[in-house]
Amino acid sequence: MLSGVYKPVDYGNSETLRLKAQRRLEKTDAMNKVLHAMLDNGADQEKHWQGRIERIDAQRRQHGFIK
């Protein structure tokens, strides 16, 4: 059994967390669309969504979410 004092957790700014989650969801969606385009042999669509992933990663780096 664990015992001790409850320590509150600071998750930071809610707006920052919302933005971080939104960017991650956008990247996941774009990655799924790249995979679908690859399966459908849609080279143009694949390039479009691959570019979108790169832009999302750049935004995430700009906000300091990834290195």
CB 23 within 8 A of CB 56: yes
Q: Where are the domains of the chain?
A: 28-67
| Burial class of residue 53, CB neighbours in 10 A (0-12, 13-18, 19+) | middle
pLDDT in tens, 22-44: 999 999 999 998 888 888 887 88
- pTM exceeds 0.85: no
Integer CA distances (angstroms), 46 to 32, 38, 56, 59, in order: 10, 6, 15, 20
pLDDT of residue 2 exceeding 70? no
